[in-house]
Amino acid sequence: MRNFKTIIVTGGAGFIGSNFIRHIFEKSGYAGNVVNLDKLTYAGNLMSVGDIEKQYGGKRYFFERADICDFDSVTAVLKKYDADCVVHFAAESHVDRSILGPAEFVRTNLNGTFTMLEAVRSMWKDRKDVLFHHISTDEVFGSLGDQGYFFEDTPYDPRSPYSASKAGSDHLVMAYYHTYGLPVTLSNCSNNYGPYHFPEKLIPLMILNLFEEKPLPVYGDGMNVRDWLFVADHASAIYRIITDGNIGDKYNVGGENERPNIEVVNLLCEVAADKMGRPKDYYKKLITYVKDRPGHDRRYAINCDKLKKELGWKQSVTFDQGLALTVEWYMNNKEWVESVRSGEYRKWIDTNYDAR
Ligand code: NAD
Ligand code: TDX
C-alpha cells in the first residue's frame, strides 16, 4: 500500500473533487495533507468544502486558487507543499456546454492536463515514490448498442467535444507513463450523482425543477441509458486505486446500475412525492420531452470487474438509497443551492482570493 504525505486535488471545489476530499478526511484513514488546487470556474464552489475548511483548514487542508493551464502557478503549488501525489479532477465537465463552446474544453481538459503533466515531470524528475492519478470518463469509449460493456481495453471512440478532449487527456497521461516513466494510474468512471452536484446535470436539475414544479426536460425519446454511481462510491474507488492500484494501469469504475433516462426521472418524481407528502405520480405531469442533444450517445455500461477483483472495491448503496439521500440533501441544503444559482459565492470568492 502506498502512503502519501501531501495529495494535490485539482478541481477539489467541484462535484466529485469535493466529495473525494471529504472521503479521504473522514472515511479513508489517510493521515497526510490535502491541497485543493482549483480555478473556481462557474462549477467550483468553496461552500462544497466549507466543512473541511472549518475542521482541517490551515492544519491538514489548504486551498490554492490556480489555473491548471498555468505552468508557473501549478509548479509553485507543487513546490510549496512538496506534494507526492496529484489526483487530477479539474476539467470542463458538461457535455451540453462542450457542444455550445468546445474551445474551453480543449484548453482546460487537453492543455490543462498537459500542463499538469509537464509540471509534475519537471518537479518530480525520476522519482518513483510519487503518483499522478487521472480521472476520466466512460464517454471516451463512445456509444454502445443494446448489448455489451466497456472494458479497460475497449478502443476509444469519443463522440462529443467533451469526450474527445477527455480522450486526448487520457492518451497524454499514458504517453507520460510509457515515455518518461511517470508513475500514473487512470480511472474511467460512469455517471456520478449525489450531494454537491452542479444543477446543470440531469439528476440535480430534475430535483430542483421538481421542488419548484417546473417542467422536467427529457432529451429525445428518454431511452438513452446511463450507468449511475453514487459519488461517495466513486471517491472510495479512487482512494483504493491511488493506494493499491498497479502503476500504469487503467481501472473502470461503475455503478452496475444501467437505467434509461426516463426511468431515472420517473423514480425521482416518486422519491420527491414521498418526501413532500404528495401522491406517488403527482410530479410526473411535469415530464416534458424536448429536442435531443446533438450526437447524443445512446448507451453507456461499465464492466468494473477488474477493480472489484484486484482491489476488493464495491458499491455501498443501491440506486433507491442513493436517490433518496440525494433528494434529501438538496432539500436540506438550500443555502448551497441558492449560492450556486445566484452567483453570490462568486462575488465572495472574487473579493477573497486573487487569481494568480
Ligand atoms: P465539476 O464541473 O463539478 O468540477 C470541475 C472543477 O474543476 C470545478 O471546481 C472547477 O472550478 C475546476 N476547474 C475547471 N477548470 C479549471 C482550471 N482550468 N484550473 C483549475 N481548476 C479548474 O466536475 P465533476 O463532475 O466534479 O468532474 C470531475 C472530473 O471527473 C472531471 O475530470 C470529469 O471529466 C470526470 N468525470 C465526471 C463524471 C460525472 O458524472 N460528473 C463521470 C466521470 C468522470
Ligand atoms: O436536461 C437534461 N435532460 C436530459 O434528458 C439533461 C441535462 C440531460 N439529459 C440526458 C442526457 C444524458 O443522456 O440525461 C443523461 C445524463 O446527462 P448529463 O447529466 O448531462 O450527463 P452526461 O452527458 O451523461 O455526462 C455525465 O456523465 C459522464 C457528466 O456530465 C460527465 O462529466 C461524465 O464524464
* pLDDT tens track for 125-137: 999 999 999 999 9
* Burial degree of 37 (CB within 10 A; 0-12, 13-18, 19+): buried
For residue 297, which of 223, 203, 186, 204 has the smallest C-alpha distance? 223
Going by C-alpha positions, the residue among 4, 70, 3, 1 that lies closest to residue 37 is: 70
Ligand 2 site-directed mutation target among 169, 209, 219, 286, most atoms within 8 Å of CB: 219
Beta-sheet pairing, 225-230 with 258-260: antiparallel
Q: Which ligand is nearest to the CA of 207?
A: 2
Residue 259 has pLDDT above 70, yes or no: yes
95 lines ligand 1 (CB under 6 A): no
Q: Is 138 a catalytic residue?
A: yes
Grid coordinates given for 171: 492518451
Let me know if residue 103 belongs to a domain.
Answer: yes
- Say if residue 347's pLDDT is above 80: no
Backbone φ/ψ region at 239: left (φ over 0), alpha (ψ -120 to 50), beta: alpha
Q: What is the mean pLDDT of residues 259-279?
A: 97
Ligand in closest contact with the CA of 141: 2
Average per-residue pLDDT in the chain? 96
Distance CA 328, CA 270 (A): 13
Cβ–Cβ under 8 Å, residues 21 and 195: no
Q: Which ligand sits closest to the CA of 165? A: 1
Give the pLDDT of residue 345.
73
What single-letter DSSP state applies at residue 110? I
150 lines ligand 1 (CB under 6 A): no
> 109: CA distance to ligand 2 center in Å?
18
pLDDT at 18 over 50: yes
d(Cα 272, Cα 213) in Å, to the nearest integer? 11
**pLDDT tops 90 at residue 343:** no
What is the residue with the minimal CA distance to atom 34 of ligand 2? 137
Query: Which atom of ligand 2 is closest in space to residue 261's alpha carbon?
Result: 14
Q: Is 93 in the pocket of ligand 1 (CB under 6 A)?
A: yes
Residue given cell 421542488 in the structure block: 211
CA distances from 44 to 17, 21, 40, 78, 107 (A): 10, 14, 4, 21, 17
How far is 166 from 186, CA to CA, in rounded Å?
12
Name the catalytic one among 38, 67, 92, 139: 139
- pLDDT computed for residue 354 by the predictor: 54
Q: Which of 30, 149, 162, 251 is catalytic?
A: 162
For 185-242, write each residue's pLDDT tens digit. 999 999 999 999 999 999 999 999 999 999 999 999 999 999 999 999 999 999 999 9
- Residue 356, pLDDT > 50, answer no
pLDDT band at 355 (very low <50, low <70, confident <90, very high): very low
Residue 89 in any domain: the answer is yes
- How far is 119 from 71, CA to CA, in rounded Å? 6
- Tell me if 284 is assigned to some domain: no
Contacting residues for 302 by C-beta, under 8 A, at least 6 apart: 138, 149, 150, 188, 189, 190, 227, 252, 253, 254, 255, 256
Is the confidence at residue 349, as pLDDT, over 90?
no
Per-residue pLDDT band for 333 (boundaries 50, 70, 90) equals: very high
| For the CA of 42, the nearest atom of ligand 1 | 11
| Ligand number with the minimum distance to the CA of 238 | 1
pLDDT of 152-194, one tens digit each? 999 999 999 999 999 999 999 999 999 999 999 999 999 999 9
- d(C-alpha 67, C-alpha 40), whole Å: 9
Query: Is residue 156 one of the residues assigned to a domain?
Result: yes
- The Cα 196–Cα 191 span in angstroms is 14
Is residue 91 within 6 Å of ligand 1 at its C-beta?
A: yes
Whether 42 has a pLDDT exceeding 70, the answer reads yes
- In short, whether 349's Cβ falls inside 6 Å of ligand 1 is no
271 found inside a domain: no
State the residue range of the domain holding 172: 6-192+228-255+299-317
The arithmetic mean of pLDDT across residues 93-120, rounded, is 97
Q: Is 162 a catalytic residue?
A: yes
Tell me the percentage of the chain whose pLDDT exceeds 90: 95
Would the CB of 224 count as within 6 Å of ligand 1? Answer: no
Pairing relation of β-strands 191-193 and 85-88? unpaired
- The CATH number covering residue 120 comes to 3.40.50.720
- Is the shortest distance between the CB of 90 and ligand 1 below 6 Å? yes
Whether 214 contacts 279, CB under 8 Å:
no
How many domains are there within the chain?
A: 1
Amino acid (1-letter code) at residue 203: I
Q: What is the DSSP string of 265-293?
A: HHHHHHHHHHHHT--TTGGGGGEEEEPPP
Q: Give residue 89 CA to ligand 1 midpoint distance, Å.
A: 5
Once rounded to an integer, what is the mean pLDDT over residues 263-277?
97
> CB-based contacts of 287: which residues, under 8 Å, 6+ apart?
215, 216, 218, 262, 265, 266, 269
